[in-house]
């Protein structure tokens, strides 16, 4: 076996886990306010168990509905409305050999007052934290000791309820700024009783909860505790305090799960998300070092590492070197739930590595679903399962070899169709291949190369350097034409745009040597801002001008947050409400709210959007019985949209 340490089973309490890969907690929004999970939510969790993870953990279930809920769709474990749904999920996970787990949580001072749990209670108007304080204009009251004991009992009762539902483990959330983390950090816990002061006292709440669960569920029932091993940012506790907290949990927690971050009470709170959930600007395994430090001091309790891991070689080394006993993934298994099986069978070249674009979490936050840019099936498992029916074999012509075209061709071929893929250039992958040299886009480049390898191994007839005209398409005699022609960069109508010092963003990405020591970039979408970050990494200076008064983050607000943080860290200036009116050899003249202003630079780069090749696509509409335009030629959008429409259209061919 190539990764023997990663796949060596581990005994925790009375339970044998089949390997060291755990699916980290992810909540699911597709649950009713009275705790009923949809069948799609059930399928989402089941898919991870089918893929080979040893444990699959549901996120964010609340043990105290009156004082602990953050939003209405969190499952309330102190009422029993969710009994049937949770039992079904546990059964669907367990039947595939994985251990179902659930994350127990209380929001504390982050709770939202007045949330109604139907048929049970209405949330209190009082917000309780470890100590009385005012936070962002909100009055927080000190949690009385009798409520602390009541909550401890609720954790124990919740775990017993879940065990009855078929769950084999629970995870106590004591990190990321939630209630137990609030008690653990001396920034917020200023109590003078047995629940505050020393590290031992501040950890007493969590210790008592662990013991309560073991009393209700038995000593052999595994209890995992997720802590922030470091709050990471200035003003929060560091890893030395994280080690001290972990030491208090020895003999009480069965797994110490070391995440990072705080999420409350600091001016830079907004930065926490992209540190806790590492963005693409962070290196692979960036947070493992915190778990490794804890493990150096905790040798008698399993320690779990989490954050930015998808490489089985890296994960095996983490286990083999003793940095951690378990590795946990959330987005890695959202992107490719079959990662464990592929790694175990030595098919690591087939793993689709999460590129940490945060599309899944942005979709969850803004649209209510974990939708992945690279895996259209995630959170649509049932919808795609319905397309797995017998089809009539068709001859399919795919025009365009970018993201959408490759996905359409591969899906159609897998369904049994005869497929021809034509690409007008000498390279597959589309215009986004210009970013192949960008370090923080390496997983996207790996994905494109993986799709190319899949095409080479397939029966798809790939024809390069072919510009498909309607006449050519008709000669093919296809039953179906899928037009995936993509888009081209918009060239702004600005005096001086023809200058020798002017490039489009694609040219700058493909050959950054053509960019001088300084650059002005027109356009603050992701193409322009990420280019500025890339150029800065190469030792070049860049400024970004944007006509609007804000950054264009499209449908990915959390990646926009990560980009904004990186721009600030690298001290890259972005000027909003700045309209370029003249380009010359020395830079750009722009209109700004303060009046005309010059921005001097050796090179000017425009990144003002993409123009869909809609007319070229529409010209092919009558070249076959069926015609489907997909991807950017319909409307320039995202990789996620391109993959989804391409796969869906190809799945449906020949069903009727």
Predicted pLDDT at 113: 94
Strands (E) across 323-380 are located at 326-329
Give me the pLDDT at residue 136, please. Answer: 83
Give the closest residue to 460 by CA, choosing from 428, 390, 413: 413
Gap between the Cα atoms of 329 and 307, Å rounded: 7
| Token duo for residue 155 | 């954790």
pLDDT band, residue 14 (cuts 50/70/90)? very high
pLDDT tens for 277-292 read 999 999 999 999 999 9
The answer on pLDDT for 265 being more than 90 is no
Number of CB atoms found within 10 A of residue 450's CB: 17
Closest-CA residue to 104 (of 241, 212, 266, 260)? 212
pLDDT of residue 582: 98
Neighbour count for residue 655 (Cβ, 10 Å):
12
Name the band, by pLDDT with cuts 50, 70 and 90, for residue 146.
very high
Residue 468: pLDDT over 90: yes
**Would you say residue 566 has pLDDT above 90?**
yes
pLDDT bracket for residue 563 (50, 70, 90): very high
Is the CB of residue 279 less than 8 Å from the CB of residue 559? yes
359 — pLDDT class (breaks 50, 70, 90): very high
pLDDT of residue 29: 81
Is a pLDDT exceeding 90 seen at residue 132? yes
Contacts of 321-327 with C-beta under 8 Å, sequence gap 24+, read 322/295, 323/288, 323/291, 323/292, 323/295, 324/258, 324/288, 324/291, 324/292, 324/295, 325/10, 325/20, 325/295, 326/10, 326/20, 326/21, 326/22, 326/255, 326/257, 326/302, 327/6, 327/20, 327/21, 327/22
Residue 233: what pLDDT? 85
Q: Which sequence spans correspond to the domains of the chain? A: 10-356, 390-489+612-652, 502-608
Query: Could you tell me which residues are beta bridge partners of residue 173?
Result: 226
Architecture of domain 502-608: 3-Layer(bba) Sandwich (3.50)
* Mean pLDDT, rounded, for 337-352: 97
Q: Quote the pLDDT of residue 370.
A: 84
Rounded Cα distance, 33 and 187, in Å: 34
Q: Residue 656 pLDDT more than 80?
A: no
Q: Quote the pLDDT of residue 467.
A: 97
- Maximum C-alpha span of the chain: 84
Average pLDDT, the chain: 96
Pairing assessment for the beta strands 603-606 and 502-504 based on DSSP bridges? parallel
User: Is residue 353 pLDDT above 90, yes or no?
Assistant: yes
Give 387's pLDDT tier (boundaries 50, 70, 90): confident
Tokens of 408: 């359409």
Pick from 44, 114, 103: nearest CA to 72: 114
Cα distances (Å, whole numbers) of residue 38 to 32, 303, 357, 388, 404: 8, 33, 27, 21, 30
Contact status, residue 485 vs residue 439, Cβ threshold 8 Å: no
CA 308, CA 336: separation in Å to the nearest integer?
14
Alpha-carbon separation of residue 35 from 65, 502, 529 (angstroms):
12, 57, 41
Q: Quick one: pLDDT at residue 309?
A: 97
Q: What is the pLDDT of residues 93-106, one digit of tens each?
A: 999 999 999 999 99
Question: Which CATH code is given to the segment(s) 390-489+612-652?
Answer: 3.40.50.720
Average pLDDT rounded to a whole number, residues 8-37? 94
Q: Which fold has domain 10-356?
A: TIM Barrel (3.20.20)
* pLDDT the model gives residue 234: 83
Asked if 106 and 178 count as a contact pair (C-beta separation under 8 A), the reply is yes
- Which tens digits make up the pLDDT trace of 424-452? 999 999 999 999 999 999 999 999 999 99
Decide: helix, strand or coil at residue 45.
Answer: helix
Answer yes or no: is pLDDT of 201 > 80: yes
Residue 464: the pLDDT is 98
């Amino acid at each position: 076996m190539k990764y023997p340490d990663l796949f060596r089973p581990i005994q925790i309490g009375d339970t044998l886990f089949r390997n060291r890969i755990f699916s980290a907690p992810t909540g699911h929004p597709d649950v009713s306010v009275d705790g009923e999970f949809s069948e799609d939510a059930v399928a989402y969790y089941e898919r991870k168990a089918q893929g080979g993870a040893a444990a699959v953990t549901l996120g964010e279930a609340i043990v105290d509905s009156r004082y602990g809920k953050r939003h209405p769709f969190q499952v309330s474990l102190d009422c029993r409305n969710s009994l049937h749904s949770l039992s079904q999920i546990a059964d669907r996970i367990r039947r595939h050999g994985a251990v179902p787990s659930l994350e127990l949580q209380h929001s504390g001072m982050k709770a939202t007052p007045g949330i109604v749990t139907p048929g049970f209670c209405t949330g209190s108007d009082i917000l309780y934290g470890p100590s009385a304080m005012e936070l962002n204009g909100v009055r927080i009251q000190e949690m009385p000791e009798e409520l602390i004991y009541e909550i401890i009992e609720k954790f124990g009762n919740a775990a017993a309820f879940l065990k009855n539902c078929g769950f084999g483990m629970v995870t106590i959330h004591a990190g990321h700024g939630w209630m137990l983390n609030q008690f653990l950090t001396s920034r917020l816990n200023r109590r003078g009783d047995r629940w505050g002061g020393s590290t031992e006292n501040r950890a007493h709440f969590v210790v008592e909860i662990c013991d309560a669960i073991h009393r209700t569920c038995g000593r052999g029932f595994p209890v995992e505790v997720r802590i922030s091993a470091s709050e990471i940012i200035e003003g929060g506790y560091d890893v030395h305090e994280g080690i001290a907290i972990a030491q208090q949990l020895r003999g009480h927690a069965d797994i110490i799960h070391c995440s990072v971050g705080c999420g409350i009470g600091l001016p830079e709170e907004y930065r926490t998300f992209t540190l806790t959930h590492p963005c693409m600007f962070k290196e692979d395994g960036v947070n493992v070092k915190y778990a490794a430090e804890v493990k150096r001091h905790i040798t008698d309790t399993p320690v779990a590492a989490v954050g930015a891991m998808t490489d089985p070689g890296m994960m095996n080394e983490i286990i083999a070197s003793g940095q951690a006993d378990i590795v946990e993934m959330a987005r890695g298994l959202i992107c490719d739930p079959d990662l464990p099986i592929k790694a175990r069978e030595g098919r690591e070249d087939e793993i689709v590595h999460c590129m940490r674009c945060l599309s899944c979490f942005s979709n969850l936050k803004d649209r209510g679903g974990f939708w992945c840019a690279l895996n259209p099936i995630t959170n649509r498992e049932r919808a795609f399962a319905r397309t797995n029916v017998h089809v009539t074999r068709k001859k399919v012509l795919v025009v365009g070899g970018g993201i959408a075209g490759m996905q359409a061709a591969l899906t159609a071929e897998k369904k049994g169709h005869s497929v021809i893929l034509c690409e007008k250039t000498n390279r597959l992958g589309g215009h986004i291949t210009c970013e192949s040299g960008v370090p923080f886009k390496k997983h996207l480049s790996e994905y494109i190369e993986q799709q190319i390898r899949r095409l080479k191994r397939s029966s798809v007839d790939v024809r390069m350097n072919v510009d498909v005209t309607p006449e050519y398409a008709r000669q093919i005699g296809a039953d179906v034409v899928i037009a995936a022609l993509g888009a081209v960069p918009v060239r702004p109508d600005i005096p001086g745009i023809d200058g020798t010092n002017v490039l489009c963003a694609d040219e700058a990405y493909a050959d950054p040597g053509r960019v001088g020591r300084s650059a002005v970039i027109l356009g603050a979408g992701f193409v322009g801002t990420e280019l500025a970050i890339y150029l800065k990494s190469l030792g070049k200076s860049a400024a970004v001008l944007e006509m609007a008064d804000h950054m264009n983050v499209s449908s990915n607000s959390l990646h926009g947050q990560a980009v904004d943080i990186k721009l600030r860290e690298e001290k890259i200036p972005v000027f909003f409400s700045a309209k370029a009116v003249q380009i010359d050899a020395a830079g750009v003249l722009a209109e700004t709210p303060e009046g005309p202003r010059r921005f001097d630079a050796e090179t000017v780069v425009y990144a003002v959007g993409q123009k869909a090749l809609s007319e070229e696509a529409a010209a092919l509409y009558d070249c076959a019985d069926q015609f489907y335009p997909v991807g950017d030629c319909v409307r320039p959008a995202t990789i996620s949209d391109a993959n989804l429409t391409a796969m869906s259209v190809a799945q449906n061919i020949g069903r009727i």
